[in-house]
Each structure stands twice: as C-alpha cells, then as structure tokens.
A = this chain, B = another copy of it.
Amino acid sequence: MRPTITAFKNSPDRGKGLARDMPVRWALEEVGRPYDVRLVSFSEMKQAAHRTLQPFGQIPTYEDGDLALFESGAIVLHLAQRHQGLLPDDANARARAIMWMFAALGTIEPPIVEREIAALVERDETWYEQRRPILEQRVRDRLNQLSRRLGDDDWLEHEFSAGDLMMVAVLRRLKGSGLLEEHPNVPAYVARGEARPAFKRAFDAQLAVFTAGSTI
C-alpha cells in the first residue's frame, strides 16, 4: 500500500523544489517508502474536496490507508516516527532532532516567508524599498544565530535527522538572495543536504512534474 501525497499541478517555483511537497518527498525517499502523487491545480485546492483534506487550501496532504494528514512538518515527523532513518534511537537525541524541526518551521522560516511575501505582494508599494532592509535583517539575525550554533558540525545534532531535513528545506528558500553566503557554514550545510541521494531523487521527482506538464 503506497501513500498518496498532493503537490501543485503548476508549481509556482517552476520546479526549484521550494514547494512544501519537497520535504515530504525527501522524507519518503530517506525512509525508502514509494509513494503516489496527486497533482492539484490552484482552483482545485480551494474546492470542498481538497478542503476536507486540507482546511487551509494548501499542499501537501498525505493519505495512507485510514490516515490523512496535512502540514509538511507533521507529515515528515509521522514518517520519521514510523520508519528508520530520520530520527536517532536514543530518546533524548530524538527529542532534540524534533526540536530542530520546530525551530526550522517556527523560528527560521517565518522571517524568510515574510520577505518572500513582501517581494510578491508589496513590490509596487511606495514602502517596499524602505521595508526591505528591515525584512532582510530579520532573516540575517536568525542565520547568524544558526551559523553560530552549527559551527563546524556537519549537522545540527552531529547525525543527519528530520531536523536537518526540515532546516535545509527551509534555508533553500533563500537561494539566490545572497543571504545564505554571508555565513559560509550555512550554504555548506545546505549543500550537504542537497548532496544526499534521497534529496536528489525527491528533487528530480518534483522537477519532472514541472518539465513534463506545465503550460502556465
């Protein structure tokens, strides 16, 4: 029985792997679980059938037998708890790995997303150029703190975990901004994540949706 996830029919990032199906695909690849994908359009995401699965009208969702989940963090954690490969065996080390998932989504991601939203929605507003440095500084402060904690380690808690998977997925949203490169250990950390075979399989799978089908 293969689980089914949902992803964008027309990915707004044109296949850069920044949509939220990417960490779920990556986790599925890390734990070696084959999966099916149901593509949904933006209009389908707003309709009742999808809202029943995802009350906020977003992707991804995850269906596996009787279980239906949304929220990429919850899906990745579910996979990590049910399968080997994404969480250490030691109970305290597991709690710390899960802590980094929450840090990625709750502390690092919000200022990154705010910067993106402003660029998308407020680019033509008179205040955009004045707010931009404020938004960048909020991102920079978090990257600075993350860089100091990471130091010379390969991963946040020495061994790759679901916490690193989520953190790398979040940091990838900054590619091209120049912000990651201000702390060399941060882009090196992202590159280590991207070099994992499971990441590459997941990336190629989401890219294939775009290259095969998009006619935006």
Which A residues fall within an 8 A CB radius of B? 51, 55-58, 66-67, 69-71, 73-74, 77-78, 92, 95-96, 98-99, 101-103, 105-107, 109-110, 113-114, 121-122, 125-127, 130-131, 134, 142, 145-146, 148-149
Extra inter-chain contacts (8) besides given A67-B96, A125-B127, CB under 8 Å: A56-B107, A56-B145, A58-B107, A66-B92, A74-B103, A105-B105, A121-B134, A127-B127
Give the shortest distance, in Å, between A216 (CB) and chain B (any CB).
Answer: 24
- For A69, give the chain B residue with the smallest CB separation: B99
Contacts of A96 in B (CB 8 A): 67, 69
Give the shortest distance, in Å, between A178 (CB) and chain B (any CB).
Answer: 22
The count of identical subunits is 2
Interface of A: prevailing SS: helix
13 contacts between A and B (CB under 8 A): A51-B148, A55-B145, A56-B142, A57-B145, A58-B107, A66-B92, A71-B106, A74-B95, A74-B99, A74-B101, A74-B102, A110-B110, A114-B114
Contacts of A142 in B (CB 8 A): 56
- For A99, give the chain B residue with the smallest CB separation: B74
- For A163, give the chain B residue with the smallest CB separation: B74
Q: Are B105 and A106 in contact, with the CB atoms below 8 A? A: yes
Say which residue of B51, B105, B122, B130 sits within 8 Å of A102 (CB atoms).
B105
Say which residue of B78, B121, B134 sits within 8 Å of A98 (CB atoms).
B78
Contacts of A134 in B (CB 8 A): 121
Contacts of A99 in B (CB 8 A): 69-71, 74
Q: How far is the CA of A142 from the CA of B57 in the complex (A)?
A: 10
- For A97, give the chain B residue with the smallest CB separation: B74
Q: How far is the CA of A57 from the CA of B71 in the complex (A)?
A: 27
Give the shortest distance, in Å, between A79 (CB) and chain B (any CB).
Answer: 10
Contacts of A55 in B (CB 8 A): 145-146, 148-149
- Across chains A and B, which 8 residue pairs bring their CB atoms closest together, nearest first? A127-B127, A74-B99, A55-B149, A71-B102, A73-B102, A74-B102, A67-B92, A110-B110
